[in-house]
């Protein structure tokens, strides 16, 4: 970097603790037509891929070629926490990162954050198309992770000290972590009741709960409402997840309209904040404000897997530096756009001028030199 290039320097960023999943992601493209050893036409859409699969039919076979584009750290929690660490946030991540040794895919993450592993990671093959992605997961080790695994890796006393020093706790991938509702209950009874009295955010990402029952989801929401007495519980959703919750609380009188969706969901669920991100718009509402605006899609995306996690990281970064709800949504959008466009998590120096300007304006915590 030249000396004349402006640099954003973070100061006094608060601590974040996050967990509990962990995956090794392989990003793939399906081949529509092979032209040469290093030349092929990828399958453009998920619908086209579906036709290739269904063409096998009864008694038929299908031969679908997949090309590995990259391997990277995966899981909602690691991607979220890594993105925050790239922005200079002090992060401790507790999750399924490898036993007895942390998997090599997390080595770069380990240089930027404190990692505490509780189990082996899962593995995901992500087949990406122009209009979406197909996630094929091998999740057994992550699905089995429980509170005892956490407290074997880190004593309750140490966990209390760690969380007490944090301004934000991030809990990701409830859908795959089958014991997460119970883990949150144990977290409340063993850790939360012993914390000092100060404002903290608990950010929760469901991670596509389509295969979990309404009974399971209702049990989680009951625990989150209890935790909302001690934390500013913030639920991050995509459009499908927001629609599932809307139907669960039988709030059929409002639709997926960004102008009032987050506000209505927040009131129905009894939580501090709801934030919803889609490819076309974002919206959020807390006890003090409600915001929504449209977003422009990246025309030539490099990667899609992890875009939502980067949005969540950018939004939470805004909350950490006491940015407004509107500016936190903008930061989420800018962080996600950079990642989708470049395939890399932004740093303070590579974040767009819009994002850097928002950071510089927030509470005098950051200065541009």
Nearest to 127 by CA among 220, 32, 26: 26
pLDDT at 359 (0 to 100): 79
Q: Cα–Cα distance between 231 and 320 in angstroms, integer?
A: 14
Domain 11-25+73-368 has CATH 3.30.1330.20: no
Instruction: State the average pLDDT over residues 336-341.
Output: 95
Nearest to 179 by CA among 142, 137, 218: 142
Residues 163-182 pLDDT 10s: 999 999 999 999 999 999 99
What pTM value is reported for the model?
Answer: 0.88
Q: What band does 369 get if pLDDT is binned at 50, 70 and 90? A: very low
Residue 76 has pLDDT above 60, yes or no: yes
Residue 9 has pLDDT above 80, yes or no: no
Work out whether the CA dihedral 71, 333, 265, 220 comes out positive or negative.
Answer: positive
Residues 278-330 pLDDT 10s: 989 999 999 999 999 999 888 888 888 899 999 999 999 999 999 999 999 99
Spans of all domains in the chain:
11-25+73-368
Burial class of 6 by CB neighbour count within 10 A (0 to 12, 13 to 18, 19+)? exposed
**Which residue reads 């209505």 in tokens?**
264
Beta-carbon contacts of 92 under 8 Å, excluding residues fewer than 6 positions away, are: 15, 16, 17, 18, 113, 114, 115, 116, 162, 166
């Amino acid at each position: 970097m030249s000396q004349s290039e402006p640099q954003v320097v973070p100061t006094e960023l608060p601590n974040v603790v996050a967990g509990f999943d962990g995956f090794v992601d392989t990003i793939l493209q399906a081949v529509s037509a092979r032209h040469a050893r290093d030349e092929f036409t990828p399958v453009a859409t998920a619908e086209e891929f579906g036709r290739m699969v269904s063409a096998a039919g009864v008694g038929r076979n299908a031969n679908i070629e997949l090309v590995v584009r990259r391997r990277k750290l995966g899981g909602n929690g690691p991607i979220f926490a890594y993105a925050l660490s790239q922005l200079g946030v002090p992060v401790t991540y507790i999750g399924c990162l490898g036993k007895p040794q942390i998997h090599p895919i997390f080595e770069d993450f380990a240089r930027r954050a404190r990692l505490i592993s509780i189990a082996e990671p899962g593995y995901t093959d992500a087949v990406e198309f122009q209009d979406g992605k197909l996630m094929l997961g091998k999740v057994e080790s992550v699905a089995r992770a429980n509170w005892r695994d956490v407290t074997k890796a880190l004593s309750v006393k140490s966990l209390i000290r760690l969380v007490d020093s944090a301004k934000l706790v991030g809990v990701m991938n409830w859908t795959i972590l089958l014991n997460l509702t119970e883990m949150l209950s144990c977290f409340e009874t063993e850790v939360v009741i012993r914390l000092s009295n100060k404002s903290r955010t608990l950010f929760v990402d469901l991670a596509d709960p389509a295969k979990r029952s309404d009974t399971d989801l209702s049990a989680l929401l009951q625990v989150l409402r209890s935790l909302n007495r001690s934390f500013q519980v913030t639920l991050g959703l995509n459009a499908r997840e927001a629609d599932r919750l809307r139907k669960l609380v039988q709030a059929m009188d409002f639709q997926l309209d960004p102008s009032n969706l987050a506000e209505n969901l927040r009131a129905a669920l009894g939580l501090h904040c709801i934030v919803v991100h889609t490819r076309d718009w974002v919206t959020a509402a807390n006890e003090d404000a409600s915001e929504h605006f449209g977003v422009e899609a990246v025309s030539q995306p490099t990667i899609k897997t992890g875009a939502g996690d980067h949005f969540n990281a950018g939004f939470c970064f805004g909350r950490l530096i006491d940015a407004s709800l509107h500016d936190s949504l903008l930061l989420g959008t800018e962080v996600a756009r950079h990642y989708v466009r470049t395939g890399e998590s932004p740093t303070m120096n590579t974040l767009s001028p819009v994002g850097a300007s928002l950071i510089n304006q927030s509470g005098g915590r950051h200065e541009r030199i």
